[in-house]
Amino acid sequence: MMSASWGFAPLRSVFLRSIIFQHHHPRLPNKSLLTRPQLANYSTAEIQPLDAEERIYHPQSDVEDLEGYRPGGYHPTVVGDTLCDGRYKIIHKLGYGGYSTIWLARDQQRQRYVSLKILVAAASRESDDNETSSKENSTNLMFPRDAARSIAAQLVMGLDYLHANDICHGDLHLGNFLLRVPEFDNLSPDELYERHGKPYEVPTHRLDGRPSTPHAPLHVVYPMKQNMPSNDITDPEILISDYGTSFAISKTTSPRLHTPALYAPPEDFFNDSIIGTAADIWTLGVVLYDAMGERPLFETFAWDPDDIMGEMVNTLGYEQMPERWWNSWKCRSEFFNEDGSWVSNFQRIGTPAFRRLHQRMWDMGRGETPESCQWDVAGGELKALEDMLRSMMTFEPAKRPTARQLMESEYIVKWALPAWQKQMRRKQ
């Protein structure tokens, strides 16, 4: 959901100067890599999950996987730590992922806040230009109509720029689109805590009762909340972030995707076709639906890949799926008959609701009738948006439009770009 109750930290992030550290266990290097918002090719090694019998710590929800605190994994960082000979002081946590933890820090030399991404020790740097994300969670409402249109324009323009520069992002999802928020460099840490709350910490406990240090901190920190309602945002400024799995299109052949399952393209599910810019087009289509309404496009009880594939077919139609995929989908008979109809004895958790994309467009939360809908239904906006999303989520990768073609689509030209241009004029 694009409101800010999405659960993925979408478009709700602090837009800060970004610094990346690579953790070489057991301590950090003395140098940091200062980065600017630019394109990069960055490769990391994700922490691999452990089997149940190998687990060391009592699990905690809404924080990084504590099993990542082991040699080769996360650096044990806590609020109050300093890095680079005392220059950067850790103030709060912004987010986490399989490759890193992300922190809000105070640059005590330049008296400003920065985001620090501390990579796992197993990460490998392949480029000197990198970008990081800073994320947070909050509960918001839908973006206003023109703000949503502007967001669509900015995301398509951003992706067009990436692809034109030989970069495939490879991990587009709501958590990797950042929303600029007002600067707060003039706030002291105490004033910042007053506004956004002090860090909430929970102890780390080993299952065997032994001390959690030195590999893990004594406690872990929950990410900071901005608490800025989406429906209060009229002039959104968006940054595409986190190029940890991006690659040069002309130099890399079909890398592994790390995109969350709800956003991953079908070619990744079937391990078929070369992974390239068409994968970005699919994931952006899923994101745009979320971004412009109040609910996700694909809704499953759990992020089971087969359930998600069932939702894809439910939304787009089985007749659109390439025959090679339809025939090779091992669990298809648990969902569909040969003719594409739902099986009568559905055994999986949750009975699916039959809803094609056209119905889901009316279910976005913008109004369910032409009279109540916030989109310009009479002028053709809803149809143009549906046509664009449908083209982006074509099952066959080769048949999806390019980002440049999206820039020329009816929806972007007639509704999204004008909203963004109007926003730019207000800024002048």
Residues 56-99: tens digit of each pLDDT: 888 888 888 888 888 888 999 999 999 989 999 999 998 887 77
Q: Is the dihedral of CA 221, 222, 223, 225 positive or negative?
A: negative
Task: Tell me what pLDDT residue 49 has.
Answer: 57
Cα–Cα distance for residue pair 149/267, rounded to 1 Å: 29
Cα–Cα distance for residue pair 399/155, rounded to 1 Å: 21
- Nearest CA to 95 out of 35, 167, 174 is that of 174
Q: Which of 241-245, 345-349, 410-414 has the lowest mean pLDDT?
A: 345-349
Q: β-strand 112-119 against 17-22: which pairing, if any?
A: parallel
Quick check: 137 pLDDT over 60?
no
| Domain 17-427 superfamily per CATH | Transferase(Phosphotransferase) domain 1 (1.10.510.10)
Q: Which amino acid belongs to residue 405?
A: Q
Specify whether the CB–CB gap between 241 and 176 falls below 8 A.
Answer: yes
Span 378-395, mean pLDDT?
Answer: 97
Average pLDDT value over all residues in the chain:
80
pTM: 0.72
Confidence of residue 53 (pLDDT cuts 50, 70, 90): low
Cβ-based neighbour number of residue 372 at 10 Å: 9
Quick check: 147 pLDDT over 50?
yes
Q: Which amino acid belongs to residue 415?
A: W
Task: Tell me what pLDDT residue 138 has.
Answer: 34
Span 183-211, mean pLDDT?
Answer: 89
Percent of the chain past pLDDT 70, that is, above it, reads 79
The length of the chain, given as a count of residues: 428
Cα separations (Å) of 45 from 74, 121, 244, 363? 12, 9, 9, 39
Q: In this structure, what are the phi and psi dihedrals at residue 202, rounded to the nearest 5 degrees? A: -125, 140
Specify whether the CB–CB gap between 288 and 387 falls below 8 A.
Answer: no
Quick check: 225 pLDDT over 50?
yes
262-288 pLDDT, tens digit per residue, is 999 999 999 887 889 999 999 999 999
Q: Which of 2-11, 115-124, 160-169, 309-318 has the lowest mean pLDDT?
A: 2-11
Residue 40 neighbours by CB under 8 Å, 6+ apart: 127, 129, 130, 131, 243, 246
Chain centroid, CA 338 distance in Å: 35
Chain centroid, CA 5 distance in Å: 14
Span 30-43, mean pLDDT?
Answer: 29
Cβ-based neighbour number of residue 297 at 10 Å: 22
| Domain range annotation of the chain | 17-427
Task: Tell me what pLDDT residue 285 has.
Answer: 97
Q: Which of 13-17, 187-191, 205-209, 281-285 has the lowest mean pLDDT?
A: 13-17
Specify whether the CB–CB gap between 64 and 86 falls below 8 A.
Answer: no
